[in-house]
Amino acid sequence: MSVASPVSSLNGRLVSIKALFLNCTLKPSPQTSNTQALIDKVAGLLGELGVASETVRVVDHHVRFGVSSDEGAGDEWPAILRRIKAADILVIAMPIWFGVRSSVAQLVLERLDGTYAESDPGTGQYPLYGKVAGVIVTGNEDGAHDCCANTLFNLSHLGCLVPPNVDCYWVGDAGPGPSYIEAGGDAHLYTNRTARYMAHNLLWGVQAIRANPIGTDLSALDAEARAVSR
C-alpha cells in the first residue's frame, strides 16, 4: 500500500483528496487482475482531477471471515480499515462469479458491518459517513448490475454518499469468453464513458460533502424513534 498526496482545489483552497480502491479479485499478486486494469483507468482519471489514489488488493492480506472490525490474532483487516477511514472516496472493485460479486468483495462488506458498532459518540454517525462511494466491476459476461446495485446500496447503508453514475463496469456477451484486458476492454466506449462520469461525480461528491457536511444526528433520531415505538 502506498499513497501520494496531491492537492486539489476546493472552493479556492488547496486540499488533499484521497481515493481508496479495494481490489476484490480472487487472484493474489502477482497474477494479472482484470479488475486492477479497470481500477488503474479510473484512478488515472481521478489523478487528472487532482485526487490521489491507492489500491489494496485484499486477497494479498490475511483478512479473516467475520463481522467485526477486528477478528483477533493475525487479522489484517484493521490495517485496511484504517486506510478506509483515511480516505474520502471508497471504491469497491470486483470480478463477477456466478452472476454476483466475488467472495472477496462479500467478505469486505461483511467486515465493514463491524463499523456500525463504531458510531460517533455525539452524532451516532458511522465511520463511513462523509465518504463517497463508487463501484467497479469486471466479468467475462453478465452480472454487473447485481454487483453494482448491492455494493452501492450496502455502502450507502454504511454511511457513504452515492453520487449519480459512480459505477464503471465491463462485461462481455453471453457465456464464457475473454476478460477485460484480453478482449480489448480498454477501448470499450461505454466503459470509458462511465469511467469518466464516475471520476468527475466522485470528486463532486467529496466537494459537496466538504462544503455541506452531513449534520444528521442519528442518536437524537434514534431517541425520537424509540419514543414512538414499542
113-142 binders of a second copy (CB under 8 A): 113, 128-129, 141-142
- Interface with a second copy in residues 6-45 (CB under 8 A): 26-27
Binding segment (CB under 8 A) for a second copy, from list 1-9, 13-21, 81-89, 221-229 = 221-229
Burial of 35 (0-12, 13-18, 19+ CB in 10 A): buried
C-alpha distances (whole Å) from 84 to each of 9, 12, 116 are 22, 26, 14
CB of 176 to a second copy, least distance (A): 7
Answer yes or no whether residue 162 interacts with a second copy by CB under 8 A.
yes
User: How many Å apart are CA 79 and CA 81, to the nearest integer?
Assistant: 5
* Binder of a second copy out of 154, 179, 181, 182 (CB under 8 A): 154
* Binder of a second copy out of 9, 78, 82, 99 (CB under 8 A): 99
- State the cell numbers at 161: 454518499
Answer yes or no whether residue 89 interacts with a second copy by CB under 8 A.
no
Answer yes or no whether residue 178 interacts with a second copy by CB under 8 A.
no
Distance between alpha carbon 220 and the CA centroid of its chain, in Å?
Answer: 29
CB of 35 to a second copy, least distance (A): 13
Contacts of 39 (CB under 8 A, 6+ apart): 21, 23, 55, 91, 93, 136
